[in-house]
Amino acid sequence: MGEATFRVDFSRRAQADLDDLSEYWAAREEAWRGEKYHRDLVHRAEVELSDAASARRGRSAKITDWPEAREIVAFGVYRIIYRIDEAAAVVHVLRFWHTHRDDRPAGA
Write down the pTM of the prediction: 0.89
One pLDDT digit (tens) per residue for the chain, 108 residues: 457 899 999 999 999 999 999 999 999 999 999 999 999 999 999 999 999 999 999 999 888 788 899 999 999 999 999 999 999 999 999 999 988 776 666 655
Write out the CATH class of domain 7-98.
Answer: alpha beta
Q: Which helix (H) or strand (E) holds 52?
A: helix 52-56
Q: Which helix (H) or strand (E) holds 102?
A: none
40/22 Cα distance (integer angstroms): 12
Q: Within a 13 Å sphere around the CA of 9, how many CA atoms are in the beta-carbon half?
A: 13
Q: Do strands 7-10 and 59-60 pair parallel, antiparallel, or not at all (unpaired)? A: unpaired
92/49 Cα distance (integer angstroms): 9
